[in-house]
Amino acid sequence: MTTTAATGATATAQPEATTREQRLEHGLDVLGRIDGDAGENVLAALSDVSPELAHQIAAWGFGEIYSRPGLAPRDRQLVTLGMLTALGGCEPQLRVHLGAALNVGLTPQEIVEALLHSAVYCGFPRALNATLTAKQVFAERGLLPVATA
Amino acid sequence: MTTTAATGATATAQPEATTREQRLEHGLDVLGRIDGDAGENVLAALSDVSPELAHQIAAWGFGEIYSRPGLAPRDRQLVTLGMLTALGGCEPQLRVHLGAALNVGLTPQEIVEALLHSAVYCGFPRALNATLTAKQVFAERGLLPVATA
Amino acid sequence: MTTTAATGATATAQPEATTREQRLEHGLDVLGRIDGDAGENVLAALSDVSPELAHQIAAWGFGEIYSRPGLAPRDRQLVTLGMLTALGGCEPQLRVHLGAALNVGLTPQEIVEALLHSAVYCGFPRALNATLTAKQVFAERGLLPVATA
Amino acid sequence: MTTTAATGATATAQPEATTREQRLEHGLDVLGRIDGDAGENVLAALSDVSPELAHQIAAWGFGEIYSRPGLAPRDRQLVTLGMLTALGGCEPQLRVHLGAALNVGLTPQEIVEALLHSAVYCGFPRALNATLTAKQVFAERGLLPVATA
Amino acid sequence: MTTTAATGATATAQPEATTREQRLEHGLDVLGRIDGDAGENVLAALSDVSPELAHQIAAWGFGEIYSRPGLAPRDRQLVTLGMLTALGGCEPQLRVHLGAALNVGLTPQEIVEALLHSAVYCGFPRALNATLTAKQVFAERGLLPVATA
Amino acid sequence: MTTTAATGATATAQPEATTREQRLEHGLDVLGRIDGDAGENVLAALSDVSPELAHQIAAWGFGEIYSRPGLAPRDRQLVTLGMLTALGGCEPQLRVHLGAALNVGLTPQEIVEALLHSAVYCGFPRALNATLTAKQVFAERGLLPVATA
């Protein structure tokens, strides 16, 4: 385990030399397991306008950050749902990550409860937009109606 | 279990009649267990300017929403950290909820990882502001340095 | 009049014990008078995904906050138009509240002037999005063209 | 009354030729009546870094927009309080406009109620930040405690 | 060159008296050269709802600010792309200004690179929304695929 | 030059295998040239709370994105100033990047003009906050008063 003087970070995660291509492969693998087809469709849509953005989403966002062991995939999606709800105007990304949230084990009831919780911090309009986006994702997966407690 | 025709919501949570005062007591109890003194200090600061806002934070935010069983307290804080980081300019509230996150069982490492994760969705400035706020909270509790994985 | 020690708020508004169902009925009544059908359509859309969010919008947002006497309905809509314009990405909610603004007595000219005013604080893009949303609402009610002063 | 072909706007407000200096004088006059010293202090702080920004705030923001007759000064401040609360991170401007709100006839109770109302649309953190900023302004003017209804 | 005592701004830009109509003509001229038809379509859409907003966008936004000599048109579009990407929910305005960016000499490669750069500060969702909006604009102008370096 | 099938991005930038440590070194080098001491101070402040965030800011933000050839450093700072102004609540980051903007050749006059321009898109409060932050940076470097055109 080596320590970088400048930042104090330890370099255990990727101690070996990797090529840009290898980092992408790793990222695409992580992305596929979390987002499934929805993530790959986003990358495909970028291929003729900004393949570099597609590369960085996969290689950095998923290969570097998502793949870190310090926070469970389910927990990462809870944080992500909170952020995308609060940011607003991110309905396409919210759709992908609502699917990802289901993929990593959050139940529709937990998701709906998290979005209700968001009203306390973001207000009703953001909570409403996110909940109606969730309704679309749930409908596509045959998960409506969401059973109430 | 009764169902409300207008919204379809079931009314199991608080089937009995309660007074405004009772709902406040319940909320203050939930708030105290999650936020501790930090939450009560916020309410006290409001007492001469907007006691009604203090009432609603406690009675509604905590008594009605936080107290619902559908999402674990730890999960609620993950969503909340994501929202407060994304909103920006909420450092005082972030401070309270970083404390709450520790109170309900999130470790400093998980919190730091969640805030690193936020860079993917909110960019580095928001992630930085939240992480440096966390540094203050951790320092007050003697939790620095945060051990790296 | 009783005073709550913890927050200093006086409990005149709802001194009597109420059930969750009664609070919802009260909120739906207030919501219906302000938002009309548009508000009810939002609640209906939530019924199979998050009836609890529908409940809270009605019972808390309208039953607890909107129904308070300290600010006239017309004034509440002015503040609300300012907030929804500034938040951005809330066009569906803006549509409901532009209708509400007309319902409680704001004229199309005043609304348009408030949205022009928003350019000073939010910039032209937010002012433009809100004004073009108003154009849709006015068109549906046969209020175009808006007479200039 | 002439009509501009390109925009359809009627040119009644300033039909005569004015110089840049005259438009500034007019704006400073409007600004002084609404914001008082607080507004002038902002302009003074800009004098060695961006006198043009100071000019435009006065000449355009106040001289062109605030001075329009279509919305009462009190109503403009309600919209402005809503926007500044929703935007977040605008506490210095909020301070100026809370003073302006008092100057044009809003009572502390109405202001506090408007900020409570903002919780419904922006969530508690934004409402809290704005309310605690109002507390500072009210304290400077000897208006604490705000009497509850 | 006269100096305004109150703001310190020098009044070289428009030393002579102008009418509201003349300032509009000047603004429309600047707007036409930068935004082309897209800008005029926005003004036309406002003509029956808020001709005054159309007037101010042209007369002030373009006639007063865009026409200032201190920053090149190409540089103004770079700043503007950054702002519209960061604000979020401004896709219609982004579309107009992506066209403007091409009109004033930015290449598709530079635009795509600026939007990739935005991921560092705003996160991937905002960068993605802006890049997919750019894809639409580029497609309409036959500029796809964007050549990679 | 190899092409990645999945994203279409070409891998010319870093064709060889690199270690995590090498990528950090490269990023720190780019960061030092752009941000100078200010950037390094931010990384140092993170060293006991989130050295991984420090690593990613340097290795990814600067080493991967800033170091790309497709957009001049001066242009990157213009976009960045636009984003940080629009986001709001990013004054510490704005301070670093105002310094960076001066380091890469933007003049105080151009910076002030860019921030005036931001008023059109973000409104006066965001433009004011950014301009008063610039005043602080200029004062530290002895660049006040900014000469007017």
Closest alpha carbon within chain E to B128? E121
The reply to whether E107 touches chain D by the CB within 8 Å rule is no
ipTM score for this prediction:
0.91
Residue D96 touches partner C, C-beta closer than 8 Å: no
Mutate to test the interface with F, among E1, E30, E67, E78 (most CBs of F within 10 A): E78
- B141 to chain F, any CB pair closer than 8 A? The answer is no
Q: What is the pLDDT of residue E5?
A: 46
Q: Does D129 touch chain B (CB under 8 A)?
A: yes
Q: Is the pLDDT of residue B1 over 50?
A: no
Take residue F70 and report the two structure tokens written for it: 């497709």
* Average pLDDT across chain D, whole number: 92
Which residue of C116, C122, C126, C128 to mutate against F (max F Cβ within 10 Å)? C122
pTM summary value: 0.93
The dihedral over CA atoms of E94, E96, E101, E105, expressed in degrees to the nearest 10, equals 160
Helix (H, G, I), strand (E, B) or coil at F42: helix
Phi, psi (5° rounding) for residue D11? Answer: -105, 45
Tracing tokens 């950014």 back to the chain, one arrives at F130
Q: Do residue E138 and residue A92 have CB atoms under 8 angstroms apart?
A: no
- D25/D45 Cα distance (integer angstroms): 18
User: Does A43 lie at the interface with C, CB-CB under 8 angstroms?
Assistant: no
Instruction: Calculate ∠ Cα F45-F50-F56, nearest 5°.
Output: 95
Q: Which of F45, F48, F52 sits opposite B116 (nearest CB)?
A: F52
- CB-count exposure of residue E93 (10 Å: 0-12, 13-18, 19+): buried
Task: Among C4, C24, C42, pick the best mutation site for testing chain B contact (most B Cβ within 10 A).
Answer: C4
Confidence of residue B7 (pLDDT cuts 50, 70, 90): low
State pLDDT tens for residues E29-40.
Answer: 999 999 989 999
The whole-angstrom distance between E48's CA and the closest CA on chain F is 23
Distance CA A98, CA D75 (A): 40
Q: What is the mean pLDDT of residues C119-135?
A: 98
Taking 60 as the threshold, does the pLDDT of residue C122 lie above it? Answer: yes
Q: Please report which helix (H) or strand (E) contains residue B44, including its range.
A: helix B37-46
Verify whether the Cβ–Cβ distance A123 to D120 is below 8 Å.
yes
| C47/B3 Cα distance (integer angstroms) | 11
How far away is chain A from the Cα of D4, in angstroms, using its nearest Cα? 35
What would the pLDDT profile of B60-102 be if each residue is shown by its tens digit? 999 999 999 999 999 999 999 999 999 999 999 999 999 999 9
Alpha-carbon gap: E121 to the closest alpha carbon of chain B (Å)? 4
**Residue given tokens 């993530």 in the structure block:** A39
Cα three-residue angle E53-E83-C137, rounded to 5 degrees: 40
Q: Is there a contact between E116 and A56 if contact means CB atoms under 8 Å apart? A: yes
Give the minimum alpha-carbon distance from F94 to chain A in angstroms, rounded to a whole number: 20
- B121 touches A at CB < 8 Å: yes
pLDDT at D9: 53
F92 contact A CB<8A: no
Q: Is D27 a residue whose pLDDT tops 50? A: yes
Q: What residues of chain F lie within 8 A of the CB of C121, using their CB?
A: 123-125
pLDDT at D148 (0 to 100) = 76
Q: How far is CA F72 from CA B114, D23, F34, F76, F104, in A?
A: 33, 39, 12, 6, 9
Q: What is the predicted pLDDT for the residue at F5?
A: 46
pLDDT in tens, D29-52: 999 999 989 999 999 999 999 999
F124 touching C, CB under 8 A?
yes
Is D115 at the interface with chain A, CB within 8 A?
no
Are C132 and E49 inside 8 Å of each other by CB? Answer: yes
Contact partners of A by the rule of 3+ C-beta pairs under 8 A?
Answer: B, C, D, E, F
Cα–Cα distance list, C43 to A110, C27, C49 (Å): 20, 12, 10
Whole-number pLDDT of residue B63: 97
Q: Is F59 on the interface with B (CB under 8 A)?
A: no
Tell me the pLDDT tens digit for each residue of D66-112.
999 999 999 999 999 999 999 999 999 999 999 999 999 999 999 99
Q: Outline where chain D has alpha helix (H).
A: 20-35, 37-46, 51-56, 73-87, 91-103, 108-122, 124-140
CA E49 to CA E47: how far, in whole Å?
A: 6
* C-beta atoms of E123 and B119 within 8 A: yes
Please name the chains neighbouring F, where neighbouring means 3+ C-beta pairs under 8 angstroms. A, B, C, D, E
How many residue pairs from chains A and D have C-beta atoms closer than 8 A? 18
Cβ <8 Å between C122 and F122 = yes
| Contact between chains at B24 and C4 (C-beta distance less than 8 A) | yes
Instruction: Tell me the three state secondary structure of residue C2.
Output: coil
Give the residue among E66, E86, D77 at the shortest CA–CA distance from C126.
E86
At residue E148 the predicted structure's pLDDT band, cuts being 50, 70 and 90, is confident
Chain B residues within an 8 Å CB radius of C21:
2, 4, 11
Give the pLDDT confidence score for residue A125 in this predicted structure: 98
Kindly report the average pLDDT of chain A as a whole number. 92
Contact yes or no for F7 and A64 at CB 8 A: no
Q: Which residue of B has its CA nearest to D133?
A: B49
Tell me the three state secondary structure of residue C12: coil
Q: How far is A139 from chain E (nearest CA, A)?
A: 23
- Burial label, C142 (beta-carbon count in 10 A; 0-12, 13-18, 19+): exposed
Q: How far apart are CA C93 and CA A103, in angstroms?
A: 30
d(CA C123, CA C32): 33
Angle at A27 between CA A26 and CA A32, to 5 degrees: 105
pLDDT band with cut points at 50, 70 and 90 for residue D115: very high
User: What's the distance, CA D140 to chain centroid?
Assistant: 19
Residue B82 C-alpha, separation from nearest chain C C-alpha, in angstroms: 18
**Is C5 a residue whose pLDDT tops 50?**
no
Higher pLDDT, residue B2 or F50: F50
Q: In this complex, is the C-beta atom of A43 within 8 Å of any C-beta atom belonging to chain D?
A: no
Selected residues 62-91 of chain C with any CB under 8 Å from a CB in chain D = 65-66, 68-71, 75-76, 78-87
Distance (Å) from the alpha carbon of B145 to chain C's nearest alpha carbon: 37
Q: Is C107 left (phi over 0), alpha (psi -120 to 50) or beta?
A: beta
Size of interface B-F (CB pairs under 8 A): 64
**By the CB < 8 Å criterion, does E146 face chain A?**
yes
**Residue A129 touches partner C, C-beta closer than 8 Å:** yes
Given a cut of 60, whether residue C25 has pLDDT beyond it is yes
CB within 8 A of A44, min separation 6: which ones? none
| Residue percentage of chain C with pLDDT more than 90 | 87
pLDDT tens-place values along chain F, 149 residues long: 344 445 555 545 546 899 999 999 999 999 999 998 999 999 999 999 999 999 999 999 999 999 999 999 999 999 999 999 999 999 999 999 999 999 999 999 999 999 999 999 999 999 999 999 999 999 999 999 998 76
